[in-house]
Chains A and B, each alone.
Chain A
Amino acid sequence: MSPKNDIIKQKLQEKFGDQVCDFQETYGILSFETDKELNLKLIQFLYDDAELQFKFLTDLCAVHYPDQAERELAIVYHLHNLVENIRIRVKVYININHPNIYTATKLFEAANWMERETHDFYGINFIGHPNLKRILNVEEMDYFPMRKNYPLEDQTRIDKDDEMFGRGGNF
């Protein structure tokens, strides 16, 4: 780990102890996991700390891991320190049967649409979000298309031979 990331890791461990874990560095970006109740406190700490200064939310998204029981959905916050140009990833895992997590809109205005998108595609319920409804897909859609238990293809289609088009069948 690069010295900068070492300092970040050390500061986080001092403050949160065992509640932050699984530190990894990929392509120079530090990523780690935290508890779902802690997401706002941790982001607030990263924002407020005079040295860390992660004051920009680059991205907020989710990942579906269908094989990880009880922690199928990961919510990933990408934060950016614009002064030192350091990026960081915060991951929070939640149960797909209770996909509730506190909204980050109170900390970052940018989280508003990102959380709506994440809700749209993964069905995550951001508690306290001011306007949690679909943003990209049609409003009539009754499922969350990026969850892996739903097929990618449009199911209303009847004019294409499934085998020829690589859907189901043996090819």
Chain B
Amino acid sequence: MPRPVRFNTKIKTIEKPEGYEGEGFFATNLDKVVGLARKKSIWPLPFATSCCGIEFMATMGSHYDLARFGSERVGFSPRQCDLLMVMGTIAKKMGPVLRQVYLQMAEPRWVIAVGACASSGGIFDTYSVLQGIDQIIPVDVYVPGCPPRPEAILDGFMKIQELVGKESLRRRTSEKYKALMESYGIQ
């Protein structure tokens, strides 16, 4: 007797974007397709300097599993990565290093500041600590917490996915974006 074939019926699929459909074709905006592809294949670059980095390790591990969101591959070279995840206290002396890492990333690039220290300096209201990484590089999403739980990091990551998915293909060449880069002294 042949074994019954059992299909996995619990697969979740993404809603297809708006578009025209006919037999054998589907037409939609390039923006939407590119956004869909990008948001499910983000390569994060962890820039972990302290306890938020430990929480990120849990986030990458099997229990919380960042890979479920399309980020199986965590890159350790800025030239390969799309998302800079800054986790932990950034001392002023570390500032130029972080900036250099950001500059080495290719466009389009996103930045997430995980935890109170990366977002605002946190409890380290002191002369040696950078009071938020947004003083030196532009930040897309801030995750609060000291340190934030893995769920919070995942939530921040999903917010990034939302931004990536909705981003217009023309955004990076727009005047507004150029002005933003200009304000940080980046060409």
A-side residues, CB < 8 A to B, are 136-138, 141, 145, 150, 152-154, 156-157, 159-160, 165, 167
Contact = CB atoms under 8 A, between A and B. Distances in A.
Given A137-B93, A138-B92, A159-B120, A153 B128 contact: no
B126 interface: yes
B35 interface: no
B121 interface: yes
Given A159-B120, A159-B132, A154 B93 contact: no
Interface in B64-93: 92-93
A154 B132 contact: no
A150 B120 CA distance: 22
Interface residues of B, number: 13
Given A152-B125, A153-B125, A159-B120, 18 more contacts: A136-B128, A137-B93, A137-B127, A138-B93, A138-B95, A145-B127, A145-B128, A153-B126, A153-B127, A154-B121, A154-B126, A154-B131, A156-B131, A157-B125, A157-B131, A159-B132, A160-B125, A165-B125
Interface of B: 92-93, 95, 120-121, 125-129, 131-132, 135
A154 B120 contact: no
Contacts of A153: 125-127
Consensus secondary structure, chain A interface: loop
Nearest to B135: A156
A19 to B, nearest CB: 37
Given A137-B93, A138-B92, A167 B125 contact: yes
Nearest to A153: B125
Given A137-B93, A159-B120, A152 B132 contact: no
Contacts of A167: 125
Nearest to A159: B120
Contacts of B128: 136-137, 145
Which interface residue of A136, A154, A160 has the most chain B CB atoms within 10 A? A154
A139 B92 CA distance: 10
A100 B129 CA distance: 29
Contacts of B125: 152-154, 157, 160, 165, 167
